[in-house]
């Protein structure tokens, strides 16, 4: 009688083991003939990404972003015109018909000088004011000026001109939206050239100009200025800065 009870008790203990999630299966031994089972790699905790050894703490640079430093002499021509290089074809995407370059920055930030150094004549709001009103300081017809400017760009896109430049403040994303939408509608890429210049430098340069913009106007514009982003539709962004020691432009 006692031997039967011992056998029953031993059998019950063996059946309660859980080796594979099913009650009743006995856990197999682990020895040289029965090694520990392998754990699939996708069940392991992901390892933290290791930083690059040559540049610790820095993320990989976006190839669509470039940085320029304004030269000490504005009349010095650039070593090359990188914006004139062919736009690389990405994957199987259709190659763009050309490029529209939008300048973004405050008065005195160096937009006009940037174009002059490259021998480029951009579509400019000041140019149109001179043509329409014989006075580039005329500010009463802003709607007419910019609607005409967009019509001129549209004509160039219809004519399939490969490179097109727009010299205006383009302070906020909603001001840039119409340029981007029209350009992309014609199959063109849109590049931004953002003049990231401190407002103090712009004001100092403005004071030494023959044609000055009122300082309170520049200050109000600085409050509205927003840096461009790729989410707006830009394919490339070039940031133009001054040297740290440049307080006079």
Is 87 domain-assigned?
A: no
| Residue 51, domain member (yes or no) | no
- Is 179 contained in some domain? yes
Which has more confidence, 141 or 93? 141
- The pairing of strands 65-69 and 163-167 is unpaired
Extract the tokens encoding 178.
Answer: 């119409």
pLDDT in tens, 196-211: 999 999 999 999 988 8
CATH number of the domain that 182 lies in?
Answer: 3.40.50.300
**Whole-number mean pLDDT of the chain?**
76
Residues of the domain holding 121 = 65-75+96-241
Q: What is the rounded radius of gyration, in angstroms, for the C-alpha atoms of the chain?
A: 33
Tokens of 160: 């399939």
Q: Which are the contacts of 213, defined by CB distance < 8 A and separation ≥ 6?
A: 107, 108, 206
Query: What's the distance, CA 97 to chain centroid?
Result: 21
For residue 89, tell me if it sits in a domain: no
190 belongs to a structural domain: yes
Q: Tell which wins on pLDDT, 26 or 20.
A: 26
Instruction: For residue 219, report the phi and psi dihedrals to the nearest 5 degrees.
Output: -65, -40
Domain for residue 52, yes or no? no
Domain count, the chain: 1
Q: Is the dihedral of CA 51, 53, 58, 64 positive or negative?
A: negative
Distance CA 110, CA 74 (A): 9
Contact 123, 202 (CB under 8 A): no
Beta bridge partners of 239: 67, 194
pLDDT tens-digit readout, 131-178? 999 988 888 898 999 999 999 999 999 999 999 999 988 999 999 999
Q: Which residue has the higher pLDDT, 146 or 60?
A: 146
* pLDDT, position 168: 87
- Residue 102 · residue 169 · CB < 8 Å: no
Q: What local confidence, expressed as pLDDT, does residue 21 receive?
A: 39
Flag whether 36 is in a domain: no
* This prediction's pTM: 0.65
What is the distance between the alpha carbons of residues 241 and 104, in angstroms, rounded to a whole number?
12
In-domain check, residue 53: no
**Contact 140/230 with Cβ under 8 angstroms?**
no
Q: Under 8 Å CB-to-CB from 115, ≥6 apart: which residues? A: 103, 121, 122, 165, 167
């Amino acid at each position: 009688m006692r031997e039967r009870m011992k056998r029953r008790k031993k059998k019950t203990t063996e059946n309660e083991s859980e080796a594979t999630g099913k009650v009743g299966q006995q856990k197999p031994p682990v020895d040289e003939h029965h090694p520990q089972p392998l754990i699939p790699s996708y069940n392991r905790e992901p390892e933290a990404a290791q930083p690059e050894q040559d540049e610790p703490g820095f993320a990989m640079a976006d190839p669509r972003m470039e940085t320029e430093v304004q030269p000490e002499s504005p009349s010095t021509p650039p070593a090359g015109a990188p914006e004139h290089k062919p736009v690389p074809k990405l994957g199987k995407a259709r190659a763009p018909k050309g490029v529209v370059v939008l300048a973004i920055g405050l008065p005195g930030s160096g937009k006009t000088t940037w174009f002059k150094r490259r021998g480029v004549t951009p579509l400019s709001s000041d140019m149109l004011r001179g043509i329409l009103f014989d006075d580039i300081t005329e500010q009463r017809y802003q709607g007419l000026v910019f609607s005409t400017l967009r019509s001129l760009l549209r004509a160039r896109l219809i004519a399939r001109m490969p490179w097109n430049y727009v010299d205006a403040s383009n302070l906020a994303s909603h001001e840039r939206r119409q340029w981007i939408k029209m350009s992309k509608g014609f199959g063109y890429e849109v590049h931004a050239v953002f003049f990231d210049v401190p407002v103090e430098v712009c004001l100092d340069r403005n004071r030494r100009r023959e044609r000055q913009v009122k300082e309170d106007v520049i200050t109000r514009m600085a409050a509205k200025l927003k840096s461009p982003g790729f989410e707006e539709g830009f394919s490339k962004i070039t940031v133009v800065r001054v040297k740290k020691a440049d307080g006079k432009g």
